[in-house]
């Protein structure tokens, strides 16, 4: 599959919004608190999640890239900031948090007319074992859009391995669409 100009444009917009987002810029002005955006961070962000989408007796395998514009952390010590923008350490997520994240999906086969899909998710993370570092549960809602359908999903799942590895099941009760995703969360 060849990437077209519009795909490059979408990626450029996402990267631009990460660097230029006003919250991030104000955060970056505190150098002693900064977990720096650098090439390593970008490299880790480029590792996609694996996702399977099941609809109308068809299953599509794909890759999913994720960013977290906003996360509210409620499980950390009282002196740690509650609100986080894009840059989130693992404990800030797995010790208990609610996050809004955006994803771009690239399927290996066409879903409708296109290989691409987009989503917005509001997900809560709840610690189960060792403050969520060994195991936690996820739950929330998501909206997925591609050229074939645009639907709301209920999300439930679990995380392990220090919050790096998530498995989520997403279900649309109206159209009975299912999605499964294995997610690697680095920030």
Residues engaged in binding another protein (CB under 8 A): 31-32, 34-38, 40-41, 44, 50, 52, 54, 59, 61, 75-80, 89-92, 95, 127, 130-131, 133-134, 161-162, 164, 169, 178, 180, 186
169, 161, 187, 184: which is closest to 52 by C-alpha?
A: 169
Between 94 and 116, CB nearer to another protein: 94
User: What values do phi and psi take at 74, rounded to 5?
Assistant: -120, 5
Between 120 and 139, CB nearer to another protein: 139
Between 2 and 78, CB nearer to another protein: 78
Question: Running DSSP on this structure, what letter comes out for residue 34?
Answer: -
CB 187, min distance to another protein, A: 8
CB 174, min distance to another protein, A: 16
Q: Which helix (H) or strand (E) holds 23?
A: helix 22-28
**How far apart are the C-alpha atoms of 160 and 135, rounded to whole Å?**
5
Between 24 and 162, CB nearer to another protein: 162
Note whether 152 and 135 are within 8 A (CB): no
């Amino acid at each position: 599959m060849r990437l077209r100009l519009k795909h490059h444009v979408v990626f450029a917009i996402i990267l631009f919004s990460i660097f230029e987002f006003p919250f991030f810029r104000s955060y970056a002005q505190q150098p002693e608190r900064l977990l720096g955006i650098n090439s390593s961070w970008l490299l880790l962000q480029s590792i996609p999640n694996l996702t399977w989408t099941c609809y109308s007796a068809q299953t599509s395998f794909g890759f999913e890239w994720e960013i977290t514009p906003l996360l509210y952390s409620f499980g950390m010590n009282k002196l740690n900031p509650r609100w986080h923008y894009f840059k989130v350490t693992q404990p800030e997520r797995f010790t208990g948090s609610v996050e809004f994240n955006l994803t771009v999906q690239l399927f290996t086969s066409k879903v409708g007319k296109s290989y691409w899909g987009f989503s917005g998710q509001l997900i809560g993370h709840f610690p189960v074992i060792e403050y969520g570092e060994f195991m936690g549960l996820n739950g929330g809602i998501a909206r997925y859009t591609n050229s074939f359908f645009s639907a709301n999903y209920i999300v439930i799942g679990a995380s392990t391995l220090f919050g790096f590895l998530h498995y989520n099941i997403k279900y649309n009760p109206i159209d009975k669409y299912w999605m499964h995703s294995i997610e690697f969360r680095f920030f």
